[in-house]
Structure 1
Amino acid sequence: MLDEKTIEIIKSTVPVLEEHGEEITGRFYDLLFQHHPELLNIFNQTNQKKKTQRTALSNAVIAAAANIDRLENIVPVVKQISHKHRSIGVKPEHYPIVGKYLLIAIKDVLKDGAAPEVIQAWEKAYGVIADAFIGIEKDMYEQAETQKGGWKDYKAFQIDKKVKESKEITSFYLKPEDGQVLPEFKAGQYISVKVYIPDTGYTHIRQYSLSDVSGKDYYRISVKKEGIVSSYLHDQLHEKDSIEISAPAGDFVLDPDSKKNLVLISAGVGITPMISMLKTVAKTQPQRNVLFIHAARSGEYHALRHEAEEAAEHSSVDTLFIYSEPSEQDRSENIRFREGRIDKQLLEEVMTDKDADFYLCGSPSFIKEMKKLISEFNTPPESIHYELFEPQLSMV
């Protein structure tokens, strides 16, 4: 536990961190990779270039400082981050390295504002926060390894099948090379894929949602071609090739005890975890009312549509597809779609019961807009769940 003086000093630094946070975290990452280039094999360098990771870390440091006297307030976020850390392979030995260069970055940026007592207070606080992460992640590593069919870190899988789902999205059916049974996963979880791309000099790790139900002899990911790793998967990897993946992780999952109606709203490649949720509910809770809303540019950009339609045929599922730029082919086919975008009027029209569990997945702007619309129905925050593709609060 931290003493009152340390807590007081940490909380007093919040305004300074709010002003200089991203400068500090930018300096931190520069120092980290300069002195530990091996960590380039863990960190997403695309997010580094876009500066989204430094923003996420800055937000995390500010949140930790503001809640340093009641860290239980950020436990849900810590667990969310820890899922990602376990998935990509963050280990206890990484935390002292991060702490060292974070403190140096604070000194470098704040200069005279980083008095010795401030640095000492942050050194203590970081130790407490790091211990919380290490403890939670230790349990997650043990669970991943000791569960039936589980494994430690990464395991070799073969691409059993590649299926083009839309103009931009391809599904990869992955089977373990050792032929062992696969661990169960919760609908909405993801796996990390680790690949070495020639000419880049280091490995790349990306998270992809599992897009099918659990209990099969394969894991399926449905990947949009939009960056260096996804392009490598699409263009350079073929059926029978091998890739390494981590065991499933993530806390964006269905509440197994909820009996409320379920509303799944997605856009673009955000459909991937939603299809897993939809097919799981259709299989395990066929009487539960589900409204499945998906937005896409047009039919040729709409992946996994037939699987959503099939789920609706055999359970209490209602589907609605929204196309912003429908083609003539879309109009000629027997597809239930509406032209336009998801707005409040549409939601009011199609939602018969607004006391529901809402799950959202898509771009940050899409999530922000959907949260705003749903909140206007006086939906409690705990009933709105979402998954972002951008970095969120992250300590490393």
Structure 2
Amino acid sequence: MLTKQQIELVKATVPVLREHGVALTSHFYKRMLSHNPELMQVFNMGHQRAGFQQQALAGAVLAYAENIENLPALLDAVAHIANKHVSVGIRAEHYPIVGKHLIASIKEVLGDAAIPELIDAWTAAYMQLADVLIGAEKAIYDKNAVAEGGWTGWRFFKVAEKSKQTDNVTSFKLVPVDNGKMPEVKAGQYISVRVFVKGQDLIQPRQYTVVKADATSLTIAVKKVEAVEKSPAGMVSNTLHNDINEGDVVEVSFPVGEFNLPEGNGELCLLSAGIGITPLFAMLKEAVQKDPTRKISFVHVCKNKEAIPFREELALVVKEGNVSFEVFETSEHGRPSEDFFKSLVSQGADYCICGPVPFMKLAASELVKNGVAENKIHAEKFGTGAI
């Protein structure tokens, strides 16, 4: 338990974290991974090289400092982080390592300003946060271990089918090597797939939505991530596209994720862009299966119709339910305008949004501006951090 003085000291660092948070977290990751290189097999090194993890951690540390007296405000963020951590195999024993290097980084970055009282305060604050996350992650691990067809850690799966969906998206049907039972998967959940990356001497995990699941298999869709400006090519996506073939074996984590189909049978709007269609396609199938009469509008933003994965299956599901499906082609119309989002507003409807961060932020803000309640907007983004 933090003392009142320690809370005030943590709060006093908020301005510094706002201005220099990324510098602090960049120093932290460099320090930790140089001292504990085995953790490079756990962390997304592509996101490390692009700076995404540093930015995400800086934002999380700032949010924690800002809400140090109101931790319930962070419950959604804790759930999001805990699911991500479980998916890549972060365990309680990793937290002392992280804490050691984070506190050392605070000392080294702040220099003379890192007085003993401040270091003690941040040490207590970190231990408090670590306890919260360890507890949340343990609950997920325990639940996964006893679930029907459940497991913790990594399980070997064989690629039963590899199918090209679009120019840059390939689907992989995965079956357990042990032929054991499979868990029930909620629409929107994801798995981590872990592979050896040639030329990097790294084992790397990446998270992919479970697009389809049955009693014997899981299917994911992988977009091949090419190098763009400062962002490196996706190590795992390129390995899966180029080096993993039918019959090969990969490691898979238990399906997790809190971005799921909203409860009830009220009107539903699914709004996706790019590869963000994958969790929403899964939600559409689940919603139609539960109640074919539920009113659903599905709007997908992409370059053109040829860029839509699972097109034939999607068309069949649309016909089975009370579903309207619209494709907004950016090659023809450009980027969605304010009027586009305004046209989607229907009072009382739930909105599920997935796609690139700028698209999701714009969609959420425009919907709220036009009268949609924030608790009716459910969003998920791929990659590091939360929207």
Same fold (TM over 0.5): yes
| 1:291-330 mapped onto 2 (5 Å cutoff) | 291-325=297-331
Say if 1:196 and 1:204, in contact at 8 Å, map to a contact too. yes
**Deviations 1:230-266 (CA, angstroms, capped at 9, x unpaired):** 111011111111111000011111123x332111011
Q: Does 1:375 align with 2:382?
A: no
Q: Does 1:356 align with 2:349?
A: yes
CA RMSD of aligned residues (A): 1.5
In structure 2, the partner of 1:91 is 91
Say if 2:189 and 2:260, in contact at 8 Å, map to a contact too. yes
2:255 to 245, 248, 253: 248
- The whole-number CA distance in structure 1 between the counterparts of 2:245 and 2:71 is 46
* Residue identity opposite 1:7 in structure 2: I
In structure 2, the partner of 1:20 is 20
Q: Does 1:163 align with 2:170?
A: no
Q: CA deviation at 1:345?
A: 2.5
SS of residue paired to 1:55: helix
- The whole-number CA distance in structure 2 between the counterparts of 1:362 and 1:307 is 20
In structure 2, the partner of 1:217 is 216
SS of residue paired to 2:200: coil
In structure 2, the partner of 1:284 is 290
Comparing 36-45 and 282-291, the one that deviates more: 282-291
* Residue identity opposite 1:296 in structure 2: C
Say if 1:59 and 1:393, in contact at 8 Å, map to a contact too. no
- The whole-number CA distance in structure 2 between the counterparts of 1:340 and 1:39 is 42
Say if 1:225 and 1:231, in contact at 8 Å, map to a contact too. yes
Q: Does 1:74 align with 2:74?
A: yes
- The whole-number CA distance in structure 1 between the counterparts of 2:286 and 2:66 is 39
* Residue identity opposite 1:183 in structure 2: P
In structure 2, the partner of 1:389 is 382
- The whole-number CA distance in structure 2 between the counterparts of 1:342 and 1:382 is 23
Say if 1:28 and 1:105, in contact at 8 Å, map to a contact too. yes
- The whole-number CA distance in structure 2 between the counterparts of 1:309 and 1:348 is 25
Of all paired residues, the percent bearing the same amino acid is 38
- The whole-number CA distance in structure 2 between the counterparts of 1:92 and 1:131 is 9
- The whole-number CA distance in structure 2 between the counterparts of 1:393 and 1:252 is 11
| 1:201-216 mapped onto 2 (5 Å cutoff) | 201-212=201-212, 214-216=213-215
Are residues 147 and 291 of structure 1, via their aligned partners in 2, closer, same or farther at CA, if it must alter by over 3 Å?
Answer: same
**Structure 2 length-normalised TM:** 0.95
Say if 2:153 and 2:253, in contact at 8 Å, map to a contact too. yes
- The whole-number CA distance in structure 1 between the counterparts of 2:116 and 2:386 is 27
SS of residue paired to 1:163: strand
* Residue identity opposite 2:248 in structure 1: D
Say if 1:10 and 1:118, in contact at 8 Å, map to a contact too. yes
Q: Does 1:233 align with 2:240?
A: yes
- The whole-number CA distance in structure 2 between the counterparts of 1:201 and 1:27 is 23
| 1:27-176 mapped onto 2 (5 Å cutoff) | 27-176=27-176
Runs of 4+ in 1 over 6 A off after TM superposition: none
* Residue identity opposite 1:235 in structure 2: N
- The whole-number CA distance in structure 2 between the counterparts of 1:61 and 1:324 is 37
SS of residue paired to 2:331: coil
Q: CA deviation at 1:217?
A: 1.9
**Deviations 1:342-396 (CA, angstroms, capped at 9, x unpaired):** 3333344455x332111111111111111122112211111111111231169xx
Are residues 37 and 278 of structure 1, via their aligned partners in 2, closer, same or farther at CA, if it must alter by over 3 Å?
Answer: same
- The whole-number CA distance in structure 2 between the counterparts of 1:350 and 1:60 is 32
* Residue identity opposite 1:249 in structure 2: V
SS of residue paired to 1:325: helix
- The whole-number CA distance in structure 2 between the counterparts of 1:81 and 1:142 is 17
* Residue identity opposite 2:278 in structure 1: T
Q: CA deviation at 1:191?
A: 0.2
Say if 1:270 and 1:361, in contact at 8 Å, map to a contact too. yes
In structure 2, the partner of 1:330 is none
* Residue identity opposite 1:242 in structure 2: V
Say if 2:342 and 2:367, in contact at 8 Å, map to a contact too. no
Residue ranges of structure 1 left out of the alignment (5+ in a row)? 327-338
- The whole-number CA distance in structure 1 between the counterparts of 2:341 and 2:121 is 49
- The whole-number CA distance in structure 2 between the counterparts of 1:364 and 1:221 is 21
